[in-house]
Amino acid sequence: MGARLKSASINQTLRLALKALIASTLLYWLRSGGFSFWVALVFILAFGVFYLRPMLNNGKFIPSSLALLSIPFFSPVLASGGEFLFITSWGVSFFILLGVKNLVLIQRQKAYRIVHFGIIAALGTLLIERFGLTSQGLVFIALFLMFREFYSTVTESEGERPTLIAALEAFMFIEIAWIILFLSVDVLIGGAFLTLFVFIFHDTTTHRLAGSLSRAIVVRNAVLFAALTILISALSAIGALV
């Protein structure tokens, strides 16, 4: 029985990997071909089919799936090495998201966090790069839905509380991005700083919702935030000099 379950798990993982590989190939075709309408349609349809089948937890992770689907259409096409890294990262994120949704991966919460923060980093970078009224509105909506999804996934909190927290955090994210614009920080560094903010906010809030927030955790997060802020600032200064 144990051997059969292990074999079934391996087969499911391989099927997810094949789906991610096909989707990544279509994404490469889409971005290298100048975002052709028909290729875009095939990519979107394939993404939808791969995500919706099997019909398990489809509604739970819709915000993350829509964000992951949309990011390639707004991200600029990079040079060969950067583009390969972008598509590979996207494919890995899609694989992990499917594994979490379909209950294939074992440590699903940890895997989910990887995809979540990866998407947040991409959204933060895009927001700083294309900061405007429309982008602020779209990113705010995406963040609000993703943050609410996050708290409903990793905590047991219910009711309006996660919704209010998600709205507050999304608003603070936009405001911090606005401040970063005036500091002339590189978009990647700015995206990293925004991701750091979300990471610290998420960790503190989840502990608070679980009733496990302590002074030690607050101090740890404050020190971590300060240390990483200094590191990001130093990298930004070095990049400016180079």
Residue 23, SS3? helix
- At 185, list the tokens: 């920080």
In which element (H, E) is residue 34 found?
none
**How many Å apart are CA 81 and CA 225, to the nearest integer?**
31
For 93-125, the pLDDT digits (tens) are: 999 999 999 989 888 999 999 999 999 999 999
Whether 84 contacts 165, CB under 8 Å: no
Radius of gyration of the chain (CA): 19
pTM: 0.91
Here the tokens at position 48 are: 């939808």
Give the Cα separation of 115 and 96 in Å (integer).
7
Q: Which pair of tokens denotes residue 102?
A: 């379909």
Structural tokens at position 58? 């489809």
* Interval 119-142: pLDDT, tens: 999 999 999 998 889 999 999 999
> 17 and 31 in contact (C-beta within 8 Å)?
no
How far is Cα of residue 94 from the mean position of the Cα atoms in its chain? Answer: 10
Tell me what the mean pLDDT of segment 43-54 comes to.
96
Is 90 exceeded by the pLDDT of residue 179? Answer: no
Q: How far apart are CA 10 and CA 2, in angstroms?
A: 12
Token pair listed for 83: 């583009």
Per the CB < 8 A criterion, the answer to whether 134 and 126 are in contact is: no
Q: Which residues contact 221 (CB under 8 A, 6 or more apart)?
A: 200, 203, 204
Element (H, E) at 183: none
Question: Inter-axis angle of helices 108-129 and 187-210, to 10 degrees?
Answer: 140
Give me 226's structure tokens: 């300060």
pLDDT tens-digit map of 61-104: 999 999 999 999 999 998 878 899 999 999 999 999 999 999 89
Rounded mean pLDDT of 40-44?
A: 97
In whole angstroms, give the CA distance from residue 144 to residue 166: 5
Higher-confidence position of 209 and 3? 209
